């Protein structure tokens, strides 16, 4: 965590006046390894006295990181100002030249700008790296076009991460993000059935805009403040006991007998084990859970050097 609190603004009309800054532009869903490369360049410019600004065009799709998770991560990285502007009609129809002059130059006093090779913005997506470079010469700011961060031959993109997440390939997602896919939430009370008939679990509801992997059981680790536990997690609606209304993230924590209700938890997804199923009885579900636990414990034993806890 940096000592300075990150400034944040959603309204393009209220962008604060900045003395001189380094900016990066894009949608930034997920803050994957490609995004991190751009943000890192902007952060390096702080040494020259520039403020580090991330300008995100925000779409209302499901997101790899929720708004709050993304904000927290950017603040931890050391970003000074995060602009999260909805990609509305005004922005969509703005001429790229007007965006650069009125927002980047007049309002933000941009000194350095980092974008990816295929970045497009403004009316008819006519704004691109070449235009930015031309305008950089005109208005005296440096433009750096960052080479693509790739996974083999494929460019890492939010689309690629979403595709892998939708297929439950959380190990690949971790490679693309540079960290495990995770979700945050407060530990809520379940129906208490688990505690009485199966095993004690923590229940949380992921943020509503959050994109989740397919319903099923995953090997996970859960963080509560500075404590961390290995475990297994079910993502889904618990069809065996009468489906829940909201998608839940329910975790059995290994070697934990604490009361965690009300605490904030971060659940990281390490490996997919099986799809969620409807069982004929709680006994059959319990037998399956024992097999899941054994698989997860073997996994942790095999990977103990890499999965700290």
Ligand X SMILES: Nc1ncnc2c1ncn2[C@@H]1O[C@H](COP(=O)(O)OP(=O)(O)OP(=O)(O)O)[C@@H](O)[C@H]1O
Ligand Y SMILES: Cc1cc2nc3c(=O)[nH]c(=O)nc-3n(C[C@H](O)[C@H](O)[C@H](O)COP(=O)(O)O)c2cc1C
The residues binding ligand Y (CB under 6 A) are 190-194, 198, 201, 203, 217, 232-234, 238-241, 250, 252, 276-279, 285, 289, 292
DSSP label of 164: H
| Residues 231/251, Cβ–Cβ less than 8 Å | yes
Query: By C-beta, is 95 or 188 nearer to ligand Y?
Result: 188
Query: By C-beta, is 117 or 304 nearer to ligand X?
Result: 117
Segment 129 to 188, residues that bind ligand X, using CB under 6 A: 146, 148-149, 155-159
C-alpha angle 70/266/307, rounded to 5°?
Answer: 110
Segment 261 to 300, residues that bind ligand X, using CB under 6 A: none
Burial class from Cβ neighbours inside 10 Å (0-12, 13-18, 19+) for residue 13 reads: exposed
Report, in Å, the least distance between residue 146 CB and ligand X: 5
Pattern 28-47, ligand X, x by CB under 6 A: xx----xx-xx---------
118 binds ligand X (CB under 6 A): yes
CA torsion sign for 58, 59, 62, 64 is: negative
The option from ligand Y, ligand X, none interacting with 59 (CB < 5 to 8 A, set by class) reads none
The option from ligand Y, ligand X, none interacting with 278 (CB < 5 to 8 A, set by class) reads ligand Y
The option from ligand X, ligand Y, none interacting with 119 (CB < 5 to 8 A, set by class) reads ligand X
The option from ligand X, ligand Y, none interacting with 67 (CB < 5 to 8 A, set by class) reads none
One-letter-per-residue 3-state SS of 115-183? EECCCCECHHHCECHHHHHHHHHHHCCEEEEECCCEECCEECCHHHHHHHHHCCCHHHHHHHHCCCEEE
Report, in Å, the least distance between residue 120 CB and ligand X: 8
CA distance 60 to 42: 26
Output the six-digit token pair for 109.
């006093």
Segment 236 to 265, residues that bind ligand X, using CB under 6 A: none
| Residues 24/38, Cβ–Cβ less than 8 Å | yes
Report, in Å, the least distance between residue 278 CB and ligand Y: 6
- In the numeric block, the tokens 């709050």 are attached to 68
119 binds ligand X (CB under 6 A): yes
- Active-site residues: which are they? 250
């Amino acid at each position: 965590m940096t000592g300075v609190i990150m400034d944040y603004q959603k309204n393009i009309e209220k962008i604060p006046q900045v003395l001189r800054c380094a900016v990066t532009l894009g949608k930034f869903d997920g803050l994957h390894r490609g995004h991190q490369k751009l943000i890192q360049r902007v952060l390096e410019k702080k040494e020259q006295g520039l403020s580090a600004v991330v300008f995100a065009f925000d779409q209302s799709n499901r997101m790899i990181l929720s708004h709050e998770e993304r904000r927290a991560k950017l603040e931890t990285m050391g970003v000074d100002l995060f602009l999260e502007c909805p990609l509305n009609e005004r922005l969509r129809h703005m001429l790229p030249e007007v965006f650069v002059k009125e927002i980047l130059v007049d309002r933000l006093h941009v000194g350095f700008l980092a974008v990816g090779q295929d970045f497009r913005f403004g009316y008819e997506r006519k704004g691109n790296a070449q235009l930015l470079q031309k305008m950089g010469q005109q208005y005296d700011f440096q433009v750096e076009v960052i080479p693509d961060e790739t996974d083999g031959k494929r460019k890492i993109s939010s689309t690629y991460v979403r595709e892998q997440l939708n297929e439950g390939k959380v190990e690949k997602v971790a490679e693309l993000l540079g960290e495990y896919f995770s979700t945050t939430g407060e530990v809520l009370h379940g129906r208490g059935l688990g505690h009485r008939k199966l095993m004690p679990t923590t229940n949380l509801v992921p943020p509503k805009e959050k994109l989740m992997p397919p319903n099923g059981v995953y090997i996970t680790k859960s963080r509560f403040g500075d404590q961390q536990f290995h475990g297994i997690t079910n993502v889904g609606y618990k069809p065996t006991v009468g489906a829940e209304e909201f998608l839940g993230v329910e975790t059995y924590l290994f070697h934990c007998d604490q009361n965690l209700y009300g605490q904030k938890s971060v659940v990281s997804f390490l490996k997919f084990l099986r799809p969620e199923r409807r069982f004929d009885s709680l006994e059959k579900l319990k037998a399956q859970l024992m097999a899941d636990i054994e698989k997860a414990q073997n996994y942790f034993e095999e990977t103990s050097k890499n999965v700290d806890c």
